[in-house]
Amino acid sequence: MENFRSELFLIALVAALAPLIAEIPKSFRVPVVIMELLLGIVIGPHMLGVAVPDGLVGAMGELGLTFLLFMVGLEVEPGALRGKPLKLAAGGWLLSFAVALLSMYALQAIGLIQAPPVMEAVALSTTALGILAPILRDEGILDTDFGRLILSAATMAEFGPLIVISLLVLPTHSFGVHTLLMLGFVAIALLTAWMTTRMRSAKWLELLTRTMQSSGQLPVRLCILLQALLVLLAAKFGLNVVMGAFAAGMVVGMASKGEGGVVLREKLDAIGYGFLIPFFFIVVGMKFNVGALFASPLVPLQVVALLALMVLIRAVPVFLYKQELVVQDRVPFALYSSTSLTLIVVITEIGVSSGLMGSDHAAVLVSVGMISVLAFPILAGKIRHQQ
């Protein structure tokens, strides 16, 4: 227990230092997620060795993963995925995933990767919506037509991969049975969402509003309860926590629309990004095998090749947007869409813990994600500003 207290202090120190250090470069704000990963690497067993990602620390990291997926689901805006934006985003991601899958099977056939091609393809076809949205907001393009197209594509590039992970990568039954169980879980999640949107009687809303500012914090506790319930149901249905936590976030997102939900979302943001989610990224950093990046002279080539392949995978759907995007916005669109880290970290964590992916290759993929977050938005912004 004494050791846990020391490690808890170190993680709290790292979590507090990360946003401070991220503010130091005035010309470019390093994403806090990157700093959490880097500082986690420093205190982890592969560098200083002052903290280990086991026991209670590991359990806190798993709670952080659950809350991260909950917040990802909360950020998804179903209204942005209607009509033509939905068709373009869905078609674009499916095309990206198909190209990624073919590429990964080809690389596996010649022995360049050992991880499951589906898992690898999912990792390379994601977009970090939670990281990209603040960047677009800071650049003043979030509320433009260009920004809305990117957001819809990024939303689908987070929603689609989570479905594939649960359905194809981590099934606990045959494909048919697993599909039925997943459909049953989706039906329960939709029923829950319908019930929460109908619970708007005056007395109920008055109770929620009154307890929001009291020690009871009933709305927040109900959100945590819903998250725990859907995670439990997902486990009982043979699914992964990925689907349970993500579905809970979407349900809360639909139920907390409007001005009344702003305070609730702020409180959930504080719990997630102020406490639990940093635990996850710091613990992932502690597990990061730095030595794997230097184990072979081919690793730098792998990183460069995967970065190029990531851009290609997310650039292929651009031709679907020919009528929506002017020529000079097509390359920036591909680069913004290639910004990916959050789900890469989640996927590699699931892959390593399930024995489907080696820690050395997970380190390569996470490095690719970190570089994409640092480089692609800057490059996309410079290209747009030069035109």
Q: What is the mean pLDDT of each run of 10 residues along the chain (387 residues)?
A: 78 91 74 86 88 85 86 71 76 92 86 79 86 74 80 83 70 60 74 69 64 80 89 77 81 75 84 89 84 78 88 90 85 90 83 81 87 85 76
3-state secondary structure the chain: CHHHHHHHHHHHHHHHHHHHHHCCCCCCCCCHHHHHHHHHHHHCCCCCCCCCCCHHHHHHHHHHHHHHHHHHHHHCCHHHCCHHHHHHHHHHHHHHHHHHHHHHHHHHHCCCCCCCHHHHHHHHCCCCHHHHHHHHHHCCCCCCHHHHHHHHHHHHHHHHHHHHHHHHHCCCCCHHHHHHHHHHHHHHHHHHHHHHHHCCCHHHHHHHHHHHCCCCCHHHHHHHHHHHHHHHHHHHCCCCHHHHHHHHHHHHHHHCCCHHHHHHHHHHHHHHHHHHHHHHHHHHHHHCCHHHHHCCCCHHHHHHHHHHHHHHHHHHHHHHHCCCCCHHHHHHHHHHHCCCCHHHHHHHHHHHHCCCCCHHHHHHHHHHHHHHHHHHHHHHHHHHHHC
- In this structure, what token pair is assigned to residue 331? 């390359």
What pLDDT sits at residue 17?
93
273's CB contacts (< 8 A; 6+ apart) are 71
Compute how many other C-beta atoms are within 10 angstroms of the C-beta atom of residue 166: 23
277's CB contacts (< 8 A; 6+ apart) are 64, 67, 68, 71
What pLDDT sits at residue 204?
61
134's CB contacts (< 8 A; 6+ apart) are none
Q: Hey, what CATH topology would domain 2-386 get?
A: Na+/H+ antiporter like fold (1.20.1530)
221's CB contacts (< 8 A; 6+ apart) are none
pTM here is 0.78
- Are 251 and 196 within 8 A, CB to CB? yes
Only one residue has tokens 């879980």, namely 185
C-alpha 91/C-alpha 302 separation (Å) is: 28
120's CB contacts (< 8 A; 6+ apart) are 100, 104, 107, 113, 365
Residue 98, CB half-sphere, CA atoms under 13 Å: how many? Answer: 8
